[in-house]
Structure 1
């Protein structure tokens, strides 16, 4: 993955806007945007500031002779991520308690922190992870249905789209839940598939940890 994309992914995972990150590293949003899109290089000083803020580790940076003023080309920067060293058999199965922290800072975790590693044909990104469904609020007679103990694959940093399924953290309680996101008549909801449970109206009081893009049944 290009360094600019790595920076963008890490910034979004930490909930930082371009402006917020630019303010922290003493640059402007235009320079940062071009850097993320691979349209320009950056000085070693600026890159060091960005890596420190985003908690990315740099193994080495090699200067290009044709760059003046100590600038460096993006493709000459190697970023080390512990997540990339994970076993190549899939994505980690983690606990609900860990889910938010893993989505925000996957580099802070080691492969052994996962309960298991499970494969998927879907691309959940470098920070993707599996969760085990709790309870029956997402169980229904139709399709899809997500019974208790089934597995769901979560892709952090995914766009929020009405009708899709997400793992969400409620900011007031810190509780994490798995629901369908619905927009209707200007209002936003988290909807369970089981009609026995109530639909939750939301208005900036939650954080979307990631979108569910795959599921597996267990115990069959």
Structure 2
């Protein structure tokens, strides 16, 4: 059976209309018609997986003719949508993050030997930090565990409720906390209730706002 015949069979048995298939795959209905007729010889992988998802057929069977026709069971894992663009940011130390505000160059030579990618397009100079300790590990709700990589954007607007990286006057290193407001004053609050809240005064410098967290399992 040719691929376009398998696609036609999948669409027919799914009971979906071409416009529904097109909407799920992010293409025009005419493209689906071309898939079914065989006029289009190539299909992008993301379209193929979307087609498999809406029809209930295996992507491998639709694309290359191997494997079972129907998915044997529902899965709790699906194909992630791939970002159209990615950006590379350095992974720096807590000491470097603490000295960020005093740096003449946003990315001085030798600041990092390690870089990580993100689909986030930063508003200003940005960098990754690896979380140390358990001060942001909460027993419930929002929690950032030790070892998590956090992406810090130094130009995002700072406001209460956001997670921030700050430099306290009595430390050479940066600290990672939640910025909160109480009685008209600002505080740096850890998510772990076992750690103290730090007041924000004129000597405390907010380095940037945490815009993304990434857990790596190796």
TM normalised by structure 1 equals 0.54
Question: As a proportion of its length, which structure holds more strand?
Answer: 1
The C-alpha deviation readout for 1:92-125, integer Å capped at 9, x for no partner, is 1111111144454445523x53132111122224
- Determine if the alignment matches structure 1 residue 181 to structure 2 residue 179: yes
Q: Give the secondary structure class of the aligned counterpart of 2:167.
A: strand
Structure-2 residue corresponding to 1:159: 157
Residues 115 and 169 (structure 1), Cα distance of their counterparts in 2 relative to 1, 3 Å cut: same
Distance 1:202 1:114, change over 3 A: same
Which residue pairs with 2:208 in the alignment?
A: 210
Asked if 1 retains the 8 angstrom alpha-carbon contact of 2:190 and 2:196, the reply is: yes
Paired residue for 2:91? 93
> Could you tell me whether the CA contact under 8 Å between 1:155 and 1:211 is conserved in 2?
yes
**Alpha-carbon distance, 1:180 to partner:** 0.2
Equivalents in 2 of 1:91, 1:105: separation in Å?
18
Matched position secondary structure for 1:211: strand
Select the structure of larger CA radius of gyration: 2
Alignment of 1:18-57 (within 5 A): none
Cα deviation digits, residues 128-149 of structure 1 (max 9, x gap): 0000001000001334311111
- The number of residue pairs the alignment matches comes to 132
Q: Under a length normalisation based on structure 2, what TM-score does the superposition of the two structures give?
A: 0.55
Aligned residue number for residue 131 of structure 1: 129
Distance 2:107 2:191 in 1: 34
Tell me which stretches of 4 or more aligned residues in structure 1 moved more than 4 Å: none
Give yes or no for contact 1:89–1:117 (8 Å, CA) kept in 2: no
Deviation at 1:203, TM superposition (A): 2.1
Deviation of 1:166 (Å) = 0.6
1:109 maps to 108
- Cα deviation per residue 1:38-92 (whole Å; 9 max; x = unaligned)? xxxxxxxxxxxxxxxxxxxxxxxxxxxxxxxxxxxxxxxxxxxxxxxxxx75111
SS in 1 for 2:213: strand
Residues 141-184 of structure 1: per-residue CA shift (max 9 Å, x gap): 33431111110000013222000011100123334200000011
Query: How far apart are the structure 2 equivalents of 1:122 and 1:89?
Result: 7
CA contact (8 A) 2:94 2:173 kept: no
Contact 1:124/1:153 (<8 A) preserved: no
